[in-house]
Amino acid sequence: MENFDFYNKTKIVFGKDVENKAGEECRAIGSKVLLHYGGGSIKKSGLYDRVVKSLRDAGVDYVELAGVKPNPRLSLVKEGIQICRKENIDLILAVGGGSVIDSAKAIGVGVHYEGDVWDFYIGKVSPEKMLPLGVVLTIPAAGSEASPSSVISNEEVQLKKGLTNICLRPEFSLLNPELTYTLPDYQTACGITDMFAHVMERYFTTTKGVELSDRLCESVMKTVVHQAYRVLKDPSDYTARSEIMWAGTIAHNDMIGCGRSQDWSSHGIEHEISAIYDVAHGAGLAVVFPAWMKHVYKNNIGRFARFAHEVFNVDYDFEKPERTALEGIASLERFFKDIGMPVRLSEMDIDDRNIETMASKVTGNGTHTIGGFKELSKDDVKAILKLAL
Amino acid sequence: MENFDFYNKTKIVFGKDVENKAGEECRAIGSKVLLHYGGGSIKKSGLYDRVVKSLRDAGVDYVELAGVKPNPRLSLVKEGIQICRKENIDLILAVGGGSVIDSAKAIGVGVHYEGDVWDFYIGKVSPEKMLPLGVVLTIPAAGSEASPSSVISNEEVQLKKGLTNICLRPEFSLLNPELTYTLPDYQTACGITDMFAHVMERYFTTTKGVELSDRLCESVMKTVVHQAYRVLKDPSDYTARSEIMWAGTIAHNDMIGCGRSQDWSSHGIEHEISAIYDVAHGAGLAVVFPAWMKHVYKNNIGRFARFAHEVFNVDYDFEKPERTALEGIASLERFFKDIGMPVRLSEMDIDDRNIETMASKVTGNGTHTIGGFKELSKDDVKAILKLAL
């Protein structure tokens, strides 16, 4: 096990009706909130009304900023920063999924910085603090409700970049599985793919001697596979929705990834796809991950065989473990297909014309490699994207 | 899954040499520390010198209070409270195992309370805040380094009582597995038993639909069993010591117990034993738990069969699942024996003369039941203690 620091201060309040606690949780932090959300869905569902009532009942003043879209945009972030400064906002309340939370995090760190908030995302400077953030989660997927990460798209330069810093953890997150009953199946499946990817990116490690976190990762993956079928069969199954929602948080709050090297190259490659094509992040991952696996599995056949056996119950082939490893990758593809995800770029009408560009961007024009399970050069990324066609 | 709140602010710093960060971590909180520890073992090992040097290098002033014994005493807690008040202590640094940490927690809540600190432990009042607490952990066992719990013995009335309150979470805990190399085998095994019990007390639930936390619990238990054999074979195996240490924290920070009912009756019964006989807590648990299992397993044979199959690899008997359940209990006893624990009271020279007293005390003179997997009356507790003879 490698040395590590783990600090997760986010208070989780989980269960039925917890969105009605938004007011009291905000009130414990401040008296003026930026209410940040996406479009009309939270108004149609009545969630908006309940949250606003909760704020009012608690005597919390609020200013609204709606309009967050999937792959949240830098321009809206900048608008949010201006509002927070002008209105002397004490904290941000993000009501939505990963995009809304990530946008709120960008606003929260930008408020304290005189330069361009994009500087944080290109690694020019590190944020030191963030406006306190509360969350009412509506889409279990990104894990941003308890993670120290945020991903923002800069539409001017077609770049999508992630920022990870301990100050990006929310103060509290309210998780009510019932709020996810009305998610379209496709969005549910995208979220499931995203959280599953978050675990795989921790699971495929080069660190030896990490039995506990290996097993914890397998527990989350097995549960997600099992409950995914249940939730798509019956979208109002409270138990299945609860398991998926809690798994999404645990998949990415990093408790199960402590003390081990991680490999985030699939996320990085997917970000290049969705920066250009604006596909759903989860769908992009369902395409990239199996291709990445086919390209890298020979670096540690044993680990891929274990993945197949422990997560997908593939019989271990003692004669030829490689068969087990390959069957695991095939099982993963089958799982993604079963839940309605694409597993090839062509299914999303993406051809090979931008492969060179995407491989170049993710490797800094070929100047550096990405990943750790296998270090990927620009040519490796091109090969992966070709496998994904 | 049941509604839950989960809030764990404890910052974990894990790995080699992390005790040398004690000074800087304390300095971030305050400038005057109560250095709280047990006896001579941390002086012999050199740990005391390293911690003191770290405090001095960071410019942190300290006052010492040594003398914590296993089953920490209320009298020393009261002494600590007086020192903290007189010396205007900003935070407590506990260097030791669960007893030292629990004693520090009692001091920390007592400082802010004008009445008798024992009031918190008998449930007369609830603590609202605790002096900030830092930990350098030397014994992986109690999980107190990240838990909201403390157990104190009141020697005057022969009572051992637990207190759980969110304000009892430490601010930071420094976990260096190397510090545990020199633990005697018996103490290592007691710790392993204690952490294993912490998971079982969450695992044997009546809550349905908790697949993820079931699996997380099984992951911890499987890892602990596997690594226990390794660590006892080679006490300086860094990997095994790391796994055991991290498992001890995860077993009891409650992440794996969220949203499910828990049953802490075995801990309660053991506290009555060690209040009278002053046996090691882990050893007491190794005796009580199998007896508790034999008494209650019929309430949910399926769960006990799952425990046997998932944790101890017992083949599932489709004809008669009860056989699987019983084999799981036998496997647990075998495991405890293998690591050098007693599994009967007689092995600790305890006979039946105090059974009536212990059963009476833990059930409030028979006025209430304990536990939830099966509600235990005073007679049930007597039956369990007789099974344990």
Query: What is the CA A347 to chain-centroid distance, rounded?
Result: 22
Q: What is the pLDDT of residue A275?
A: 83
What residues pair up with B162 in beta bridges, in sequence order?
B151
Average pLDDT, rounded, for chain B: 97
> Closest approach of chain A CAs to the CA of B211, in angstroms?
6
Q: What is the pLDDT of residue B235?
A: 98
Of A16, A212, A250, the CB nearest to B246: A212
Q: What is the pLDDT of residue A278?
A: 79
From the list A200, A112, A99, A82, the residue with the least C-alpha distance to A150 is: A99
Where along chain B do the CATH 3.40.50.1970 domains lie?
11-179
Residues of A in contact with B16 (CB under 8 A): 3
CATH of domain A186-387: 1.20.1090.10
Mean pLDDT over B232-243 rounds to: 98
DSSP three-state, residue B244: helix
**Residue A218 pLDDT level (bands cut at 50, 70, 90):** very high
Q: Per-residue pLDDT tens for B42-55?
A: 999 999 999 999 99
Mean pLDDT over B318-342 rounds to: 98
Token digits of residue B40: 């001579």
Nearest chain B residue to A253, by CA? B255
Q: Per-residue pLDDT tens for B178-219?
A: 999 999 999 999 999 999 999 999 999 999 999 999 999 999
Q: Per-residue pLDDT tens for B259-300?
A: 999 999 999 999 899 888 979 999 999 999 999 999 999 999
State the complex-level ipTM: 0.95
Mean pLDDT over A282-302 rounds to: 97
- Asked whether B246 and B137 are in contact (CB, 8 A), the reply is no
Where along chain B do the CATH 1.20.1090.10 domains lie?
185-387
Token digits of residue A360: 């170049």
Q: What is the pLDDT of residue B159?
A: 86
| CB-CB neighbours of B67 under 10 Å | 17
Q: What is the value of pTM for the model shown?
A: 0.96
Which amino acid type is present at position A176? N
**Residues 6+ away with beta carbon under 8 Å from A114:** none
Where along chain A do the CATH 1.20.1090.10 domains lie?
186-387
Whether A5 and B14 lie within 8 Å, measured CB to CB: yes
The answer, for B318 touching chain A at a CB cutoff of 8 Å, is: no
Q: Per-residue pLDDT tens for B83-108?
A: 999 999 999 999 999 999 999 999 99
- Asked whether A253 and A217 are in contact (CB, 8 A), the reply is no
Q: Per-residue pLDDT tens for A171-186?
A: 999 999 999 999 999 9
Residues of A in contact with B10 (CB under 8 A): 7
**Residue B40 pLDDT level (bands cut at 50, 70, 90):** confident
Q: Per-residue pLDDT tens for B371-388?
A: 999 999 999 999 999 999
CA–CA distance, A280 with A276 (Å, rounded to integer): 12
Query: A241-280: string of b/e by CB count within 10 Å (b at 16+)?
Result: bbbbbbbbbbbbbbbbbbbbebbbbbbbbbbbbbbbeebb
Q: What is the pLDDT of residue A71?
A: 84
Among A84-98, B274-288, B318-332, the range scoring the smallest mean pLDDT is: B274-288
Q: What is the pLDDT of residue B158?
A: 81
Q: Per-residue pLDDT tens for A322-379?
A: 999 999 999 999 999 999 999 999 999 999 999 999 999 999 999 999 999 999 999 9
**Residue B71 pLDDT level (bands cut at 50, 70, 90):** confident
Is the pLDDT at B160 greater than 90? The verdict is: no
Class at the top of the CATH hierarchy for domain B185-387: mainly alpha
CA–CA distance, A105 with A92 (Å, rounded to integer): 9
Of A5, A222, A227, the CB nearest to B11: A5
The answer, for A251 touching chain B at a CB cutoff of 8 Å, is: no
CA–CA distance, B358 with A169 (Å, rounded to integer): 46
From the list A12, A278, A25, the residue with the least C-alpha distance to A137 is: A12
Q: Per-residue pLDDT tens for A111-155?
A: 999 999 999 999 999 999 999 999 999 999 999 999 999 999 998
**Residue B307 pLDDT level (bands cut at 50, 70, 90):** very high
Nearest chain B residue to A243, by CA? B212
Is the pLDDT at A158 greater than 90? The verdict is: no
- Fold exhibited by the domain B11-179: Rossmann fold (3.40.50)
